[in-house]
Structure 1
Amino acid sequence: MVFPELIDGGGEEMPYTQKENTIVSKQTIVALVPGRFKENIRVALRSYDLEEIRFRVNRPPELVYRNDAYFMGAETLSTNDAEFIMNQLSQHSLYAFEEELRNGFLTLAGGHRVGLGGETIVENGMVKTLKHVRSFNVRITRQMNGVAGRYLTDLFHGQWRNTLIVGPPQSGKTTLLRDIARTASYGQQAKQMTPIPPRKVAIADERSEIAAAFEGVPQHDLGPRTDVLDRCPKAEGMMMLVRAMSPDLLIVDEIGSERDKSALREAMNAGVSVICSAHGRTVEDMEDRALLRTSSGRPLFDRLLLLDGNKRGKLIIPKKVSV
């Protein structure tokens, strides 16, 4: 294997100490919580480090922080508590949430996302919905502006470079994509770097994680020139956005299939810049999944950004290899 070339400038921790903007009141989360747990949840939500609140029947609620996790006392969640949470999520109209249940999560106003675990109902080999939901993962959404700043000089040069962001879960891939979208949409006129003119941005957001859309409206500030296609399969969504919205920059999360790769190539061939992410830890992971190159060995992306579990990034220039 011919290894890619490293670019100087990676490796420092992403600036997560900058101002964090929670999109709406955390009351949307507190409203889900059974009464005896509410006050402790209110206190926990004051921390910027809180990432998840997990409720499981017959277990105490668990608070998951950026670098730690612990159970909230000894009192456990009952089946009645789980039904209370479901009623709050559905506003007592479960039939209206069949599609969300089939996908295994619900999105709250404000973009906070609730993952669900329970018993699946399967028809013709496909999950139709969930019943007897007994575990909940409330993922706290926050917008962290500025985290892409240290990479912009390498990701933008006259136009946005085709870039693949790679990292393990919780490494900051989606947060970085969100900030790139916002920066591209607004543009940037920082004195210390080449100005970035505003561009039309399109986001294929299959899992509602980048825009955190609620009823089609993004709950994060993605800039004034950004269009979002929410909960659409990535490959179809990318093609729909290229045809209908004529973007300058297309952003998509968690690519992986051959159909995704084909759609990326189609978008690039149409003159659209693409910035996307994939799960992985190393260059070899991407080589094994054939995400870095075309069949001729030519690099599919201009830049590869590897993030580690501490949200540190290294920029790499993929090279052509013999096939």
Structure 2
Amino acid sequence: MLKQSLELQSIKNIVALLPYQYHQELTSVLMNHFVQEIRLRPNQSIEVVLAGESFFLRNTLFNEADATFVLNQLSQHSIYAFEEELRHGFLTLRGGHRVGIAGEAVVEKGVVKTIKHIRTFNIRISRALEKVSVPYLQGLYEGRWKTSIIAGPPQSGKTTILRDLAKIMSNGYERLNIPPQKVAIVDERSEIAASFEGTPQHDVGKRTDVLDRCPKAEGMMMLIRSMSPNVIIVDEVGSEADIRAIEEAASAGVAVLCSAHAKSMNDLEARGIISSDTFEGILLLNDKKEGHFVHKKRGKL
């Protein structure tokens, strides 16, 4: 019953972002479909995205007044956070749901300062799926957690697996004799723990500490100094600074599990992500959310 009530409350929170005339149909859709995204575009019908397909709500035409309503609803969560998050292009809501925004970027000295004339929104429905990382545990853990990359194209399940791994690492997994560990998450884009006002909205384990909205390279060093983790989890690495920080963490005895955008080993190699000998395992996912382990020199393990 608790899980059901939370789901119903989550639906109410999402529906409340839109004007009243959309509530009935949108509520029905959310209760009867596994919705991934709700896309709002100016002078277009509202699109509902499911796994591998989408459809449009009947008799809807999202207009400028509707966009203003959505913005007013979003800003009620926190005026300060709203202003700060605009320049990142998204906002995180209670429950871990994320609203991507698009409009006119205000750029100063090559840096996006904020976004104005916001008319486009992408409401991404957040769900924590349990045990999705279990099929890969024996490749990631061999008496200890191995510093590893989870790679794949967009929406292949990278972040979902990292989130589930955080919980398993933190709580332990008796079936495979994996003991609990101190886990730290550098959640630069609030996608793993989906923190809202400092509190993770997803269950990432009882021994997990989250540093939200902090650049990955700097955050890893901060957490090593302040929280003494056994394992660090970060999402979407790619810069040289990220790789150097992972190398430093590994040299300090801290395992790092991270994700990276890549469709193949060639992509990882071209970006220089796996040039470091620090990485011990690579889990490559495809667009069907299926994964296999590979070795950067010898092919599939």
C-alpha separation in 2, matches of 1:23 and 1:205:
27
Q: 1:156-167 maps to which residues of 2 (within 5 A)?
A: 156-167=141-152
Q: Say if 1:211 and 1:218, in contact at 8 Å, map to a contact too.
A: yes
Residue 311 of structure 1: aligned partner? 289
Determine whether 1:128 maps to 2:113. Answer: yes
Q: Say if 1:54 and 1:137, in contact at 8 Å, map to a contact too.
A: yes
Change (3 A) 1:246 1:88: same
Q: 1:72-221 maps to which residues of 2 (within 5 A)?
A: 72-91=57-76, 94=79, 96-190=81-175, 194-221=176-203
Structure 1 counterpart of 2:151, one-letter code: V
Change (3 A) 1:22 1:177: farther
C-alpha separation in 2, matches of 1:240 and 1:88:
35
Structure 2 counterpart of 1:222, one-letter code: V
Change (3 A) 1:168 1:188: same
Displacement of 1:23 in angstroms is 10
Displacement of 1:70 in angstroms is 1.5
C-alpha separation in 2, matches of 1:93 and 1:260:
30
C-alpha separation in 2, matches of 1:24 and 1:318:
45
User: Relative contact order: is structure 1 or structure 2 higher (C-alpha 8 Å, sep ≥ 6)?
Assistant: 1
Residue 205 of structure 2: aligned partner? 223
C-alpha separation in 2, matches of 1:257 and 1:105:
21
Residue 281 of structure 1: aligned partner? 263
Displacement of 1:153 in angstroms is 1.3
Q: 1:29-68 maps to which residues of 2 (within 5 A)?
A: 29-47=14-32, 49-68=34-53
Q: Secondary structure at 2:73's aligned position in 1?
A: helix
C-alpha separation in 2, matches of 1:292 and 1:23:
43
**Share of identical aligned residues, percent?**
53
2:239 to 243, 257, 261: 257
Structure 2 counterpart of 1:188, one-letter code: Y
Q: Secondary structure at 2:72's aligned position in 1?
A: helix
Unmatched tracts of structure 1, length 5 or more: 1-18
Displacement of 1:242 in angstroms is 1.2
Displacement of 1:94 in angstroms is 4.7
Q: Secondary structure at 1:25's aligned position in 2?
A: helix
Determine whether 1:233 maps to 2:215. Answer: yes
Displacement of 1:93 in angstroms is 6.8
Q: 1:13-24 maps to which residues of 2 (within 5 A)?
A: none
Runs of 4+ in structure 1 off by over 4 angstroms are 21-24, 92-96
Aligned alpha-carbon RMSD (Å): 1.9
TM-score, length-scaled by structure 2:
0.93
Change (3 A) 1:96 1:238: closer
Q: Which has the higher helix share?
A: 2
Q: How many residues align?
A: 295
Structure 2 counterpart of 1:87, one-letter code: N
Displacement of 1:119 in angstroms is 1.2
Q: Secondary structure at 2:174's aligned position in 1?
A: coil
Tell me the alpha carbon deviations over residues 269-298 of structure 1, each in whole angstroms, 9 at most, x when there is no partner. Answer: 11000110000111111111111123xxxx
C-alpha separation in 2, matches of 1:131 and 1:270:
44
Structure 1 counterpart of 2:112, one-letter code: V
Tell me the alpha carbon deviations over residues 79-132 of structure 1, each in whole angstroms, 9 at most, x when there is no partner. Answer: 010000000000297555211111111111111000001112222322111111
